[in-house]
């Protein structure tokens, strides 16, 4: 049977690698009492683009959408609702990190405490979130779908991936154009 969750779980491995780098940066910040605002910008871009828009986008726009029309066991429905709330929490936390990093770039040395807190929160959050999806949600919920439905979701995920890069760069070009208007 085809499992459309394979790509989602593969994406988790790359997210885990970035979280490990964020943890290394957090340790460095604590040691030298300075943040590398450029690293923070790269980490934010990765989380916003790859983890949230690409990965969570597929979960929310494909898997959760298709699950929402199924008669789910209470534990699966509850877990799906928790995952959606966790995605929202992650977006809010990343926004806090962006704001703290902007303050820090402008010379506010006190913002380093907020950067440290946001990084710590995200480093703590993602492994638990990923474990919940990998071990307690993705595999059991595949039983709600027949093979044809799973194949259809996998095709839609592949199409989502193919369109994603075009969407990102279209936005970037539009942003640049606005700067000339």
CA atoms within 13 A on the CB side of 19: 20
| Residue matched to tokens 């959606």 | 84
CB 136 within 8 A of CB 79: yes
Which pTM was predicted? 0.89
For the domain made up of 6-180, the CATH class stated in words is: mainly alpha
CB 34 within 8 A of CB 112: yes
Quote the pLDDT of residue 163.
Answer: 86
Using only C-alpha atoms, the chain has a radius of gyration, in whole angstroms, of: 18
Please identify every stretch of the chain with a pLDDT value under 50, giving residue numbers as ranges. Answer: none
Q: Name the residue among 157, 165, 126, 137 with its Cα closest to residue 19.
A: 126
Quote the pLDDT of residue 53.
Answer: 93
Quote the pLDDT of residue 52.
Answer: 95
Distance CA 181, CA 177 (A): 7
Quote the pLDDT of residue 2.
Answer: 59
| Residue matched to tokens 């429905």 | 77
Where are the domains positioned within the chain? 6-180
Quote the pLDDT of residue 169.
Answer: 82
Quote the pLDDT of residue 1.
Answer: 52
């Amino acid at each position: 049977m085809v499992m459309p969750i394979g790509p989602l779980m593969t994406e988790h491995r790359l997210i885990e690698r970035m979280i490990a780098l964020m943890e290394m940066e957090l340790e460095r910040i604590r040691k030298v009492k300075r943040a590398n605002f450029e690293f923070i910008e790269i980490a934010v871009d990765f989380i916003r683009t790859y983890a949230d828009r690409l990965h969570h986008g597929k979960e929310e726009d494909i898997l959760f959408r298709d699950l929402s029309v199924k008669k789910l066991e209470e534990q699966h429905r509850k877990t799906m609702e928790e995952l959606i709330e966790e995605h929202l929490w992650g977006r809010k936390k990343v926004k806090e990190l962006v704001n703290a990093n902007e303050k820090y770039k402008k010379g506010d040395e006190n913002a380093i405490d907020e950067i440290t807190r946001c990084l710590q929160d995200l480093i703590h959050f993602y492994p638990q979130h990923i474990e919940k999806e990998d071990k307690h949600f993705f595999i059991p919920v595949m039983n709600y779908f027949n093979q044809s439905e799973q194949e259809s979701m996998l095709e839609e995920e592949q199409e989502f991936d193919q369109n994603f890069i075009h969407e990102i760069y279209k936005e970037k070009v539009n942003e640049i154009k606005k700067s000339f208007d």
